[in-house]
Structures are given as C-alpha cells and as structure tokens.
A and B are shown apart, each in its own frame.
Chain A
Amino acid sequence: MQTSNDIVLSVENLQVHFHGEGPVAKAVDGIDYQIRGQQTVCIVGESGCGKTVTALAVMGLLPQPPAQIAAGAIYFRGQSLLEMSPAELRAVRGRGIAMVFQEPMTSLNPVFTIGDQISEMIRTHEPVSASDAARRVLQLLDDVGIPDPARRIKDYPHQLSGGQRQRVMIAMALACEPDLIIADEPTTALDVTVQAQILKLLRDLQARKKMAIQYITHDLGVVAAIADQVYVMYAGVIAEQGTTDHIFKNAAHPYTRALLAALPTRNKRGLRLYSIPGSVPHPAYKPKGCPFHPRCELRQPSCMEDFPQLCDFGKGHLVRCPITFADRGAGKQRLT
C-alpha cells in the first residue's frame, strides 16, 4: 500500500462484479487512484462506465449480492476499508468520507425535516446536545446558501427545489467536516445555472473546510473548472490519468481526445459538435482486447487482441494506449 501519510484515499486494483442472469458483469475491472488531502480529483466518463459503482464500493454501500468486490483494496488514511468491522466502517461513513448522491430528488427521507436529517448526522458522530446540533445545522444551511435557514430547518424535502435539496445534501455531507467528500454527479439532475452555483459552492467550501473532493462527472467542462487531477474512466478501467492542465493540453488516449472534441468551447461556436460514434459496452459483454477499440479511430489489429497496458508518459501522465505511446514516444525521441 501507499505510505505517504498525505494520501486520504487509495484505491488499488479494485474489481467489482455483478452476478445475475447471464455472464458476470465486470462493472469495475481493476482501477487504481489516489486522493491527497485537500485535493480535488475528478473521475470522468460516460454513463455506465462504473463511476457510481466505484464510489459505492469505497463507501461500503454496494448491494451485496448482486455486487461482489472480486479483488483489490481500498485504504482510507492507510486503513483498509474492506477489512473493517461494521462499527469501524460506520465511524468512517459520514465522518471520514461523506457522499453526495446523484439524485437529489430521492436521496432525502421524505418523512423527516431537513433539520432533523442534518442534525442526525452530527449527533451520530459527535456527543453534542440537540440544541448545539440545531445551532450547527443553522450555520451549515447558511454555509451552503439556503436563504432563511431558521425557517427552512423545519421544512420537509418536498418543500424544496432540486437545487436546494442538493445544497441540503451538501450541508449534511459537510456536517462532521469529513476528510473527503465524494460527490457523484451532484449537478447532473439540475439545470445549468444551478449547476454552476453548486460547483462554485463546493469550491468555496473546500477552500474553507480544507477537505479533499472526489468529484464524479461525465462533463469535461466541469473537470476544467474544479479538478487538480483527472482520471478518465472507460468501461470499468482508467483510460488516462494526469493533472488537469496536462490532460487538457496533452490528452493522448483516443477516448479522452474524443471527449475533448465533443466539448463545446468558444472557438467551436457555430460549428457542429463532434460526438463519439457508438456507445459504452455493457459490462457483461465487453469486447476482447481494448474495450474502446470498436469506437476508436486509431484502431490497429493488435487492439482487438491484447488488453492495453498503462503507458507512462512521464509527470504522472498515464495512458492505457500503446498505439499512441509508440507514436509520441517516437516523437519525443526525435525532439531530444
């Protein structure tokens, strides 16, 4: 395992399989990533590539069965989450790692007030009185930009808009000042202006509360706005990883490049946006060789046979594509 004590979360060769009718679905098929203190790490990829499953595995919330963690390890602050007792794991959930879910409309309990639900989080992990907890809830609601918290604290989820509910979820995640917040596409279900507000809110809060964020998204635009480090995920594996600046300037994997080409930017205004042909394979029916090869423009015969290894481009830039590595590696040699 990693030894640097600055590492908050370390996921090593994680494999999650779903057992059902038909062949085993390898939804997550061996991924590695690390998150350092106060870092923002983005996991980006198309729908169905295994982002949520990865996050749920970290939280210990996968429904088992049908899910099964077939291999790998997950370390939080150096401790193995997969080997923890239920009580130890509960102490990590909410206090060490908090999660904001993809669906704000259904993630809050409809029969309890939002004040109740946030203060429950506090009182589960800290021995505080109900009135102290209530005071902190007011502060948290204020922090996440809910107007008139004193009145809102008694509201039920159905009385709030989607954006406000997601703010409440964020307030709840922040309540015990966790080391890491996993935000699973927190803005996907919301409209664009609200998305921008939530993003800004998360960035501000991160700076103030000094926590790390694992931000899951399918939108490279969001990545550019908040991430320090990016992991591009495809069909349950990491296709490319590196610092945000580096990836946006030097994307090497054909999939990352296609995602970038599909991103609307100012100088593409008026042009037709590129879209990647085909779709993500179902995890039970992945093609042999590189899982991206059916959609790849640089496909070589070897891509249909061999599962590609991660190639080290230097400076932490890793790409799962020997074809581009051969190309660029050659180019590099010429330059130096």
Chain B
Amino acid sequence: MLSFLGRSLIQKLVTLFFVSVVSFLVIKLAPGQPSQIDPLNPKFTPEIVERIRKVYHLDQPLHVQYLLYYKDLFTGKVVSWRDERPVLGKIWERFLNSLPLFIVGTLLTWTFSFPVGIRSAIHRDGWYDKSTTLISYFLISIPGFFFAYILIILVVTKLNVPVIDMQTFGVTSASPLVHFMDRLWHLVLPSVLGATGGIAVLSRYVRSQMLEIIGQDYVRTAKAKGLDEDRVYYRHALRNALLPFVTMFGMILPGLIGGSVIIESIFSWPGMGRLAYEAILGRDYPVILTINFISAVLVLAGTLVSDLLYMVVDPRIRLE
C-alpha cells in the first residue's frame, strides 16, 4: 500500500514534469505575442519593447525562461503581464467565483443521473426508459448556447429570475438575506444549464452499466435466493455497476479549475473559464501556464484518488 503510494507519487511527479515542459513549449512556440512587445503595436517604441522583453526575460534562451517561470511559480511571485497582479491571487479570486457553479452543477449532475439511469435500466424498454432516452438525446444534441437562450427567455420573462453576472448590480446595499437570495437565484440558470448536458450523458452511461450488470450470473443467483427486487437491484447489481464511476469521481477534480467558457460568457459570470480564455487571447503567458499547471496537478491528484477509491470499493483490486 505504502509502496504503491510512493511509486505512484514518483510516477505522477515525472508526468507533471513532462507536462510542464510540453505546455511551456507549446505556448511559447504558438504564433502571436503579448501586445506590449508586439513590434507592430504603434504605442511602443522599439526601445520600450526591448526593455519590456528584458523585464519578462524574453531575451533569454527558452530553457532559462522555463526555469525562471517555474521558480517564480513555486515562490508565488508570478505576475500577470496584463495588469502586473500576482497570478495566484487572480486565479484564486476567479476560482471562488466558479466554485458555487461547479458545486451546484456537479451535485445536480450526480444526484439526477443515477436514479434516472438505474430506473431506465431496471424498466428497460418501458415508457420511462423510452422517454428518458428521447429527452437525453435531445439534450445531448441541442447546442448549449441555443438551449441557454431558450431557458433565459422562458425563465427570465415568465418567472423573473435574475440572470447575468453573479448578483444584481447594487444589491450589496440590501439586507444580507436579500443579497444571499439574489446570489442563489443568479446561480440557478447557469448551473442547471451546466448540469443538463452532464445528466443526459451520465444517465445514459449509468443505464448501460446497470444493464450490463443486470445480465450477470450473480444477479440471477441473487434472484434465485428469493431476494426482493430492491435488494437484487440496489444491493447486488448497483454495487457492481458503480465501480467504473469511482474512476469518474476522481476525474471531476480537474473540473474545479476548468469552468465553462460558453456558460460564463452567456451569463457574464466572472469565472475561471473566462479568465483562461482572456489570458489566451491576450497571450498572458504566466496566467495560461499557471492554470495549465494547476489543471495538470488536479488531473494527477484525481487519478490517485480514483485508484485509492477503487481499492476501497473493489475487493479484487489490491494495489501493491
């Protein structure tokens, strides 16, 4: 167990190193420049450009730039080229904005997908299964932005739910309760929208997993023992059907830093997705690289969590 952990940690560190090198190279080699050092930018004279290049170490060879950047990252000194603010602080601020969306969206996705998928599988080809299948394919195939506008039209005009940004402008001066409710209402549409696609996909996956397990010999054995349906399906079948989702559970960790560009743009939500998107457009290398690096760390941590969880839930797996 401990040796598994040790080996796995070393492996993950090596992977992380390669990820850092590759992402650094990709970003540096991509065409385009930050506007401050773009020779075509009429606002800057060649002398100023030269000075800025020096400040950002852009006059150094690539491997030195690489080392300098990661040294800054680990000492917390990386700053955005756009506004000279510390990158970690910027990310943290946006992260806190994205977090409620992420949490509510993920909770919605996981709490709805499982009951729907399981029920479809148990009543395979019944009316419930057929209608959820139809709705799922509809939700999977409809473009997110289009669906968002339909929802906005319905919900905003009919129910007067506030959308756009994280809170109504000027609401901070109202009572704390009103403020809190306002923020909750602002969460509704973007998180529901983020979850619907997830529910449609995940519930299909749960259904197919469950169907496969229901056909297994040991489920027949459970029925032959005289167990009632609930016990057969929710104890004997479900425990097995859930195993692959444990892996997926580790995979939601990276979602913490992802955010959705589309949803955040539609609802003017100042979240992570837009931060990354704007950083890429502005060639704000430190921000891009830092988000990249944190994502990589989260992905690797997620796989480690999955492995450990798998070991807990599947007795056949003993990692050594």
Q: How far is the CB of B81 from chain A (nearest CB, A)?
A: 53
Q: How far is the CA of A104 from the CA of B287 in the complex (A)?
A: 57
Is B225 a contact of A124 with CB atoms below 8 Å?
yes
Chain A positions 62 through 97: 1 when the CB is less than 8 Å from some CB of chain B, otherwise 0: 000000000000000000000000100011111100
If A110-B240, A111-B315 touch, whether A99 touches B218 (CB-CB below 8 Å) is no
Asked if A99 and B224 make an inter-chain contact with CB atoms under 8 angstroms apart, the answer reads yes
A107 to B217, CA, bound (A): 5
Asked if B239 lies at the interface with its beta carbon under 8 angstroms from chain A, I say: yes
| Shortest distance between the CB of A101 and any CB in chain B (Å) | 6
How many angstroms from the CA of A169 to the CA of B231 in the assembled complex? 19
Count contacts on A: residues with CB < 8 A to the other chain: 29
Identify which of B216, B218, B225, B227 gathers the most chain A CB atoms within 10 Å of its CB: B225
Q: A108's closest neighbor in chain B, by CB?
A: B218
Q: Which B residues between 171 and 186 are near A, CB-CB below 8 angstroms?
A: none
Q: In the bound complex, how far is the Cα of B225 from the Cα of A91, in angstroms?
A: 9
B320 to chain A, nearest CB (A): 15
Since A101-B221, A124-B226 are in contact, a sample of 8 more A-B pairs with Cβ atoms closer than 8 Å, ordered by chain A residue number, is: A86-B229, A92-B226, A99-B224, A106-B216, A107-B218, A156-B316, A158-B315, A172-B225
Minimum CB distance partner of B240 in chain A: A111
Contacts A/B (CB < 8 Å), 11 sampled = A86-B229, A94-B224, A98-B225, A101-B217, A109-B236, A110-B240, A110-B314, A110-B316, A111-B243, A111-B314, A156-B315
Task: Say yes or no: is A121 at the interface (Cβ < 8 Å to chain B).
Answer: yes
- 8 Å CB contact of A106 from B218, B222, B231, B316: B218
Closest to B315 in A: A156
Q: How far is the CA of A86 from the CA of B228 in the complex (A)?
A: 9
B12 is an interface residue with CB less than 8 A from chain A = no
- With contacts A110-B240, A111-B313, A111-B315 taken as known, whether A90 is within 8 angstroms of B228 at the C-beta atoms is yes
For the complex formed, measure the closest distance between the CB of B80 and the CB atoms of chain A, giving whole angstroms.
Answer: 49
B223 on the A face (CB < 8 A): yes
B223 in contact with A93 (CB, 8 Å)? yes
CB neighbors of A among B67-108 (8 A): none
For B219-263 the 0/1 string (1 means CB < 8 A from A) is 011111111110100001001100100000000000000000000
> Interface on A for B, CB 8 Å cutoff?
59, 61, 86, 90-95, 98-99, 101, 103, 106-113, 120-121, 124-125, 156, 158, 169, 172
- Does the CB pair B217–A106 fall under 8 Å? yes
- A98-B224 in contact (CB<8A): yes
By the criterion CB–CB under 8 Å, are A91 and B226 in contact? yes
Interface SS, B side? helix
CA distance A212 to B314 in the complex (A): 37
Q: Are B316 and A109 in contact (CB under 8 A)?
A: no
Q: Roughly how many angstroms separate A132 CA and B92 CA in the complex, as a whole number?
A: 57
The residue on B at minimum CB distance from A94 is B226
Residue of B nearest to A175 (CB): B225
Cβ-closest 9 pairs across A and B: A94-B226, A93-B226, A106-B217, A109-B218, A156-B315, A90-B226, A94-B225, A107-B217, A99-B224
Residue ID in chain B nearest A99 by CB atoms: B224
Which residues in chain B, 269-320, are within 8 Å of chain A measured between CB atoms? 313-316
Shortest distance between the CB of A68 and any CB in chain B (Å)? 16
A64–B171 alpha-carbon span in the complex (Å):
61
Q: Which of B221, B223, B240 has the most CB of A within 10 A?
A: B221
Inter-chain CA distance A120–B225, complex, in Å, is 9
Structural contact, A103 and B226, CB atoms closer than 8 A: no
Minimum C-beta distance from A240 to chain B (A) = 29
Contacts of B228 in A (CB 8 A): 90
| Chain B residues, Cβ within 8 Å of A99 | 224
Cβ contact within 8 Å between A90 and B227: yes
